[in-house]
Amino acid sequence: MVLLHLQLHLHLHLHSFKNVSMQVSPAPPKLKFSNSTTDLTPKNTTESVWLPRLTEKEFKLYSKESYDKKSYVAPQTEKCATTVKLLRPHKLSDDYLDEYLEEKSTENRTVDRDLNILMINSLIICHLNKSPKCVVPHFELVQETQWGLGWIWEMKCTKCKFISEKYKLFREINTGRPGRKSATINYGFQTGVINCNIGNDSARLLLTSSCIPPMSKGTMQRITNNVCDKVVKLAENETEQVVESFRKRNQTLGLNKNSPVKLQMDGTYQSVHIKSRHKMGQNASQVIGIACENETDNHAIIGFHLINKLCWVGAWLRGKGYDIECPNHEYCTSNTNRYDPLSEKDLGYEIESLLEMKLSQTALNQMQFFSNTYKYESVNRTICTYLPKNKNFSRNALGRASAAVLKVNNKRDVALAKTLKAVGCDLGRKSRAVVALKKYVNVKYMIVHIKKVYVSN
Ligand SMILES: [Zn+2]
Ligand SMILES: [Zn+2]
């Protein structure tokens, strides 16, 4: 055992004394060796060998860039038994990607079902009118135009010279304004994104992996902004309505319409650095104050306020040496000075002014001491779900928080249908999407289903 160990040691030692080097040549070799990468080991240990040109990935196995990035070094050559000569690798950036791609392609498109069928029928009639002699047409796509997730198709018949009109295969949002109209599918999709714990990049990945060409990043962001503006308004309207209904109730009961409503308040902190939502810390970057009414079992949210310290544009410009202060500069996403400590009291006063009601001292104290009830836990969970931590820099934080408020005050299905309607893409009562939405929400349905499966025997 000891002997073997010694021998092995000696062996390595011997080789390290050899003048072993590794050369990297920019020029192709005069003599071409076998292209097979299966047998790279030379027969004789002293033989100098040109390797076939490697891919970038394979090349990195043998050699890496020197510190000055001007040449290559081979860290392993001291231990090896041969002189290996390397050619520079292929400089194809999608070298690795291409390996996994196929010639044939799946091209999935999202088109409106009924508009698609309408197109087929229209094609047949138009073709018959224009080319009565072409009995059996053969249609092909001439051109397709992407409209986010919507598509416009133009068809031709390969057997005659027929070219169709352009068919819009998406429903448009009725803006009431002239000019380019948006596809409802795009607005619906972005509404979904802000209702999920994902951002636009993840959403694009979902589409890509379904072989559906995603819309461009810019288009996505623009639509998200529009959707968020509408969702914020909707949530504000809704919380105002809740307050209004309490005023009406007070009047009906013969009270002053502004007599106080019992409230519970809480703040949820978001921080890039700390995890606890209860520790204010100096790093807290966003805080959402929420006031729920404590008069009914609904515990509806009647007011909320988001303090956002984060401003990507501001941070970036400051990094570039510009003297810029948040908030209120162009494209600013923050609504507070970044040096202001986030205070629970301020949040309480903000909500107070929002509700146009005087909050009791108890309510303000609650803001400080975070009296947590079951309802709050669920509200906080919802808010956190809607505001993924790594998406904190987004200017859409308020939109996402508003979507969360709508979800808390309504059931998920109602909240989504309401939001989609406000955004301009109504769901059809009998659509399959709505059938799915009902099943998605209805836990009772699940229990009935489970019972069917397990209890029927
Ligand atoms: Zn034809
Ligand atoms: Zn800013």
Q: Mind listing the pLDDT tens digit for each residue in 30-52?
A: 444 444 444 555 555 566 778 78
C-alpha 203 to ligand 1 mean position (Å): 40
> Ligand 2 mean position to 56 CA, how many Å?
42
What pLDDT is recorded for position 24? 53
Who's near 180: CB < 8 A, 6+ residues apart?
none
What confidence category does residue 1 fall into, taking pLDDT thresholds of 50, 70 and 90? very low
- Residue 348 token pair: 């309480």
Q: How far is the CA of 317 from the centre of ligand 2 (A)?
A: 9
How far, in Å, is the centroid of ligand 2 from the Cα of 199? 21
Distance 124 CA to ligand 1 centre (A): 9
Instruction: Report d(CA 77, CA 60) in Å as an integer.
Output: 14
The HSE-up count of residue 178 (CA atoms within 13 Å, CB side) is 0
Find the mean pLDDT for residues 175-198: 89
| Residues above pLDDT 70, as percent of the chain | 68
Read off the pLDDT of each residue in 81-98 and give the average, rounded to a whole number.
Answer: 69
Rg (CA), the chain: 33
Beta bridge partners of 307: 287
Nearest ligand atom owner, CA of 331: 2
Q: Are the C-beta atoms of residues 398 and 236 closer than 8 Å to each other?
A: no
User: 229: exposed, middle or buried (C-beta count within 10 Å: 0-12, 13-18, 19+)?
Assistant: middle
pLDDT greater than 80 at residue 371? no
Predicted confidence at residue 187, as pLDDT, reads: 96
- How far apart are alpha carbons 449 and 439 in whole angstroms? 11
Inform me whether the pLDDT recorded for 111 exceeds 90. yes
- Percent of the chain at pLDDT > 90 equals 30
Calculate how far, in angstroms, residue 113's C-alpha sits from the geometric centre of ligand 1.
24
pLDDT at site 215: 92
pLDDT band, residue 280 (cuts 50/70/90): very low
pLDDT at 169: 97
Mean pLDDT of the chain: 77
Flag whether pLDDT at 437 surpasses 70. Answer: yes
Name residues with Cβ closer than 5 Å to ligand 2, which is an ion: 311, 314, 326, 332, 334
Kind plus residue range of the DSSP H or E element containing 166: strand 163-168
Compute, in angstroms, the gap from residue 234 CA to the centroid of ligand 2: 25
Ligand nearest to C-alpha 325: 2
Q: What is the model's pLDDT at position 73? A: 75
Does the structure show a pLDDT above 90 at 141? yes
Closest ligand by atom to 162 CA: 1
> What is the tens place of the pLDDT at every residue in 373-406?
555 566 767 776 777 655 554 668 888 889 988 9
Give yes or no for residue 369 having a pLDDT over 50: no
pLDDT of residue 136: 94
What pLDDT, on the 0 to 100 scale, is given for residue 59? 79
